[in-house]
Chain A
């Protein structure tokens, strides 16, 4: 353990963002927007030697070109790390799948996540939000990330999968290991994947004799394009994906939205007075505070927005940076909750469009609506500190707020 840690590369503070960027640098974590603006002014695609070589597209156009190009860019690795762990078959399909395997794997997951399916789930999510608020509303203060935004997606996806909502702390631990700690410590990835697989294997085994109507059973009953049941490894891989992708991401999106509303009383008051603005506000929060940066691996040499890219390198596919590109969005650095035209790429572009986007939107909408109903007036606690997650998914991990009589 100590040996493997000591072999990990150092991450010295960045002094030259254009030639040596590092998305785990504390300044990026705290406030990446000016960094992206600086890089975008310099070149649409920049490169770093860190992470064994990695490109970063910062314009909407460059991000789009890469997202649509599955010939030169593979999804077999979707997280940029210090090391390149061996590619696992059925790692987390379909997010880690390329054509032609991608489409059948994705089509299995799409029907349970349509807007209609989400409408059926909505009352449960509304109840979850109110149960959570009940626990702290009398206190006049709370860490909204730890007490609220984290638990909404954890409980919702647990409900969909048919696993106990009380196991949420376990899920959050695995996700932290996979998405954050594993960037610099591969053993965290191995351990978390093993624990998750063992957890789900137990639930799968139980359903072989006690079938249910949840998402785990849906996957177990699914057939591939030749009419055969899925391999256990694909079922496990997709379950890992749903848990990993369904929690940290929406936790971050709800958290950033509340952070914005805590900081911006005018937007808060306007949303309360004009609730019909909620859909465009949610899209704008998704654009301005997009939580998810995916990755690709360069498979063949090509050119993106005039910049040569070479195999052997990873690509940090920054949908968040694309969504701040002033060439695509007027006043890109401003949050405009009634923005009319908003082709944001928060859920990706092309075949890998987030399978859970309808779930995420519903959870965000319900979580913000219920919060504003019960806590219409709140602000950041000046005695506390807001902290942000590092790396692949960005959102507040501590969000101390004051409300009610303490506001």
Chain B
């Protein structure tokens, strides 16, 4: 079994498409310019792994990193 997931939005790559926020609103938040940041320390709560991967695979800028801990 895989371990817990952790996500991180690369601020140099994010351009504010906001696809992640739409697909996984529990895992991402947007700043005043609409750029995305991971919520808290990026730990993905159990049961939300699919949403993390969905956000990662839909980001046009490939700005989301998902790591298995």
Measured CB to CB, the residues of A under 8 A from B are 107, 110-111, 113-116, 279, 283, 340-345, 347, 349-351, 353, 357-358
A113/B34 in contact, CB under 8 A: yes
Asked whether B58 is an interface residue with its Cβ less than 8 Å from the other chain, the reply is yes
Closest to A116 in B: B30
Asked whether B22 is an interface residue with its Cβ less than 8 Å from the other chain, the reply is yes
* A-B CB contact pairs (8 Å), 10 listed: A114-B34, A115-B18, A115-B21, A283-B58, A342-B58, A343-B58, A343-B60, A343-B62, A349-B15, A351-B15
Residues of A within 8 A of B58 (CB): 283, 341-343
**Distance (Å) between the CB of A249 and the closest chain B CB?**
16
In the complex, what distance in Å separates the CA atom of A7 from the CA atom of B60? 42
A340/B54 in contact, CB under 8 A: yes
Closest to A351 in B: B15
Cβ-neighbour of A353 out of B15, B22, B23, B54 (below 8 A): B15
Grouping DSSP codes into helix (H, G, I), strand (E, B) and loop, the B interface class, with mixed when no group exceeds half, is loop
Closest to B18 in A: A115
Besides the known contacts A110-B32, A115-B18, 18 further A-B residue pairs in the complex with CB atoms under 8 A apart: A111-B32, A114-B30, A114-B32, A115-B21, A115-B22, A279-B23, A283-B58, A340-B54, A342-B58, A344-B60, A345-B60, A347-B17, A349-B15, A351-B15, A353-B15, A357-B16, A358-B18, A358-B34
In the complex, what distance in Å separates the CA atom of A198 from the CA atom of B21? 39
Top 6 closest pairs, chain A to chain B, by CB: A353-B15, A110-B33, A114-B34, A341-B57, A343-B60, A111-B32
Measured CB to CB, the residues of B under 8 A from A are 15-19, 21-23, 30, 32-34, 54, 57-62
B34/A349 in contact, CB under 8 A: no
Cβ-neighbour of B22 out of A107, A279, A344 (below 8 A): A279
Contacts A340-B57, A344-B60 given: A115-B17 contact, CB under 8 Å?
no
Residues of A within 8 A of B15 (CB): 349-351, 353
Cβ-neighbour of B16 out of A116, A344, A345, A353 (below 8 A): A353
Residues of B within 8 A of A353 (CB): 15-17
Residues of A within 8 A of B34 (CB): 110-111, 113-115, 358
A357/B18 in contact, CB under 8 A: yes
Could you say which of A114, A116, A279, A345 has the most chain B C-beta atoms within 10 Å of its C-beta?
A: A114
**Distance (Å) between the CB of A246 and the closest chain B CB?**
16
Could you say which of B22, B30, B59, B60 has the most chain A C-beta atoms within 10 Å of its C-beta?
A: B60
Residues of A within 8 A of B16 (CB): 110, 353, 357
In the complex, what distance in Å separates the CA atom of A94 from the CA atom of B7? 31
**Distance (Å) between the CB of A138 and the closest chain B CB?**
36
Closest to A107 in B: B33
Could you say which of B16, B18, B19 has the most chain A C-beta atoms within 10 Å of its C-beta?
A: B16
Residues of B within 8 A of A344 (CB): 60
**Distance (Å) between the CB of A66 and the closest chain B CB?**
15
In the complex, what distance in Å separates the CA atom of A209 from the CA atom of B30? 35
In the complex, what distance in Å separates the CA atom of A114 from the CA atom of B21? 11
Residues of B within 8 A of A341 (CB): 57-58
Residues of A within 8 A of B17 (CB): 347, 353, 357
B61/A350 in contact, CB under 8 A: yes
Contacts A115-B21, A279-B22, A358-B18 given: A349-B60 contact, CB under 8 Å?
yes
Closest to B23 in A: A279
Residues of A within 8 A of B19 (CB): 283
**Distance (Å) between the CB of A369 and the closest chain B CB?**
15
Residues of A within 8 A of B54 (CB): 340
Residues of B within 8 A of A115 (CB): 18, 21-22, 30, 34
Residues of A within 8 A of B30 (CB): 114-116
**Distance (Å) between the CB of A287 and the closest chain B CB?**
10
Closest to A106 in B: B33
In the complex, what distance in Å separates the CA atom of A347 from the CA atom of B22? 16
Residues of A within 8 A of B61 (CB): 349-350
Residues of A within 8 A of B57 (CB): 340-341, 343
In the complex, what distance in Å separates the CA atom of A115 from the CA atom of B18? 8
In the complex, what distance in Å separates the CA atom of A358 from the CA atom of B33? 12
Cβ-neighbour of B59 out of A279, A343, A351 (below 8 A): A343
Residues of A within 8 A of B60 (CB): 343-345, 347, 349
Residues of B within 8 A of A350 (CB): 15, 61
In the complex, what distance in Å separates the CA atom of A342 from the CA atom of B30? 21
Residues of B within 8 A of A349 (CB): 15, 60-61
